Amino acid sequence: MGAKAGTKAAAPFPAQEHDHGHCATSAMDRAAAICAARGVRLTELRRRVLELVWTSHRPIGAYDILAQLGGPDRPAGPPTVYRALDFLQENGLVHRIASLNAYIGCPDPGHAFAPGIMICEECGRAAELHDSAADNALSRAAAAAGFAITRRTIEMVGRCRDCAAQAA
Amino acid sequence: MGAKAGTKAAAPFPAQEHDHGHCATSAMDRAAAICAARGVRLTELRRRVLELVWTSHRPIGAYDILAQLGGPDRPAGPPTVYRALDFLQENGLVHRIASLNAYIGCPDPGHAFAPGIMICEECGRAAELHDSAADNALSRAAAAAGFAITRRTIEMVGRCRDCAAQAA
DNA sequence: AACCGGTATGATACAGTATTACAGGTCTGA
DNA sequence: TCAGACCTGTAATACTGTATCATACCGGTT
């Protein structure tokens, strides 16, 4: 795809008052479809973990998920959650944010490259950024250095549009 | 500037047989000069930590540094090392690699933007990648989304030129 | 020299994140 | 039905990073 068509800036950060319940359930539907298509099992546990990731509208840590999984009486173990998260990552349904040790739901699975992630340090929300110009530039530069990329992490910390507007 | 001028591919991964001792000591000299210029103190502890980072020719974890700092008889505490690493980061002398929880020496302090980092998953070495075309593309794309970047992390995992050559 | 404020370090404890190892359960296809 | 693959539970442990408080050092001032 070309650099022009590749830049996709459509509402990366959802509006503060958007219907988050809706986008979570539609994400679950997409996830079910993807798992069916790939012949992998979106089990009850995995579904619940994915829901928790989506229900939080900001990056959520593994131990936050853990705390919400089993209730206070019957807590789940860390491997339970990490295995589910691994599965969801492998299938492109969530992204891990290395600089936060946290996870977000992927609103748009099926991209060739992992997206860049923008993290607002004021409101704490995170959003994806797909930009083929940057993808291409990075790939070219790495190739020029003789480096073959297999996996990529791009994370940006800053201030989102809403927070900037509110500050003004 | 275009992708051509921005791509800086000068030996990003040093040759396997290069004189690592030399590049470490010259890095120490640069560090001393930078600290003097900025009026901050490159103390003995900070110098030793920086040396350890440079002496390892691949990313090194905080606890590896810790283990080498005090000897087995008189071990240092974690805060000692983390404080030194924070100082070195603030002054651009080392970079933290979030996806590895590890640190590398910065061979070229004083850049405007944090570099991209290429990590070879075969030999474990890491190298910086400065590319203004990618920088600009990312900045533009983020700005188009209304996002003001204050900090950036770009990490690429893959195979370096040497390892690719060896495999062939 | 003695004092003083700021900065750097030491030491202990603890919080947060992630993995290993093993046991048991569930689904699926032959 | 049975075997094998896959999924989950559980306990223990390793790894990474912070909080807190005490002490030591450095440079300037009286």
* pLDDT surpasses 70 at B2: no
Q: What is the mean pLDDT of residues B2-11?
A: 42
Phi, psi of A148 (to 5 degrees): -100, 115
Q: How confident is the model at residue A111 (pLDDT cuts 50, 70, 90)?
A: confident
CA dihedral A109→B138→B109→B104, nearest 10 degrees, is 0
Task: State the pLDDT at residue B114.
Answer: 87
What three-state secondary structure class fits A64?
helix
What are the pLDDT digits (tens) for A122-155? 999 999 999 999 999 999 999 999 999 999 999 9
Percent of chain B with pLDDT over 70: 90
pLDDT of residue A6: 39
B16 close contact with A: CB closer than 8 A: no
The residue behind tokens 């992708």 is B3
**pLDDT bucket at B72, cuts 50 / 70 / 90:** low
pLDDT score at A1: 39
Chain D nucleotides covered by protein, CB below 7 Å: 6-13, 15-20
Contact B92, B112 (CB under 8 A): no
How many angstroms away from the CA of A72 is the closest CA of chain B? 31
B144 and A7 Cβ atoms separated by less than 8 Å: yes
Residue B8 has pLDDT above 60, yes or no: no
Q: What are the tokens at B30? A: 């640069």
* B96-125 burial code (b ≥16 CB/10 A, e <16): bbbbbebbbbbbebeeebbbbbbbbeebeb
Taking the CA of residue B83 and the nearest CA in chain A, the distance in Å comes to 18
CATH code assigned to B18-108: 1.10.10.10
Question: A77 pLDDT exceeds 50?
Answer: yes
Using CB atoms and an 8 Å cut-off, which of residues 87-146 of chain A contact chain B? Answer: 98-99, 116, 118, 120-121, 127, 129, 131, 133-134, 136-138, 140-142, 144-146
Residue type, position A45, single letter: L
How many Cβ pairs within 8 Å bridge chains A and B? 156
Q: Which of A138, A159, A162 to mutate to test the interface with B (most CBs of B within 10 A)?
A: A138
* A159 with B141: Cβ contact below 8 A: no
Question: Tell me: the pLDDT tens digits for B17-59?
Answer: 677 778 889 999 999 999 999 999 999 999 999 999 999 989 9
CATH 3.30.1490.190 residue ranges of chain B are 111-168
Residue A158, pLDDT above cutoff 90: yes
Flag whether pLDDT at A20 surpasses 60: yes
The nearest CA of chain A is from the CA of B24 a distance in Å of 22
Check A133 against B131: CB less than 8 A apart. no
What percent of chain A lies above the pLDDT cut of 70?
90
Distance CA A11, CA A34 (A): 23
How far apart CA B132 and CA A133 sit, in angstroms, is 12
The domain made up of A18-110 has a fold known as: Arc Repressor Mutant, subunit A (1.10.10)
The pLDDT score that the predictor gives to residue A3 is 38
Distance CA B7, CA A138 (A): 10
Q: What is the mean pLDDT of chain B?
A: 89
All residues at 6 or more sequence positions from A45 whose CB lies less than 8 Å from its CB, including other chains? A80, A84
Judge whether residue B4 has pLDDT over 50: no
Let me know if domain A111-168 sits in CATH 3.30.1490.190.
Answer: yes
Please choose, from the candidates A50, A75, A70, A71, the residue with its C-alpha nearest in 3D space to the C-alpha of residue A60. A50
Closest nt to residue B101, judged CA to C1': D16
**Model confidence, pTM:** 0.91
Query: Are B73 and B88 spatial neighbours (Cβ–Cβ below 8 Å)?
Result: no
- Calculated CA dihedral for residues B46, B50, B52, B55, nearest 10 degrees: -160
- For CATH 1.10.10.10, the residue range(s) in chain B are 18-108
Query: If you write DSSP's letter for every residue of B33-81 in order, what string do you get?
Result: HHHHHHT----HHHHHHHHHHHHSSS-B-HHHHHHHHHTTTSPPPHHHH
Nearest to A105 by CA among A159, A41, A163, A46: A46
Q: What is the pLDDT averaged over residues A87-98?
A: 97
Question: Which residue is nearest to the C1' sugar atom of C11, using CA?
Answer: B77
Q: Which residues contact B35 (CB under 8 A, 6 or more apart)?
A: B41, B42, B91
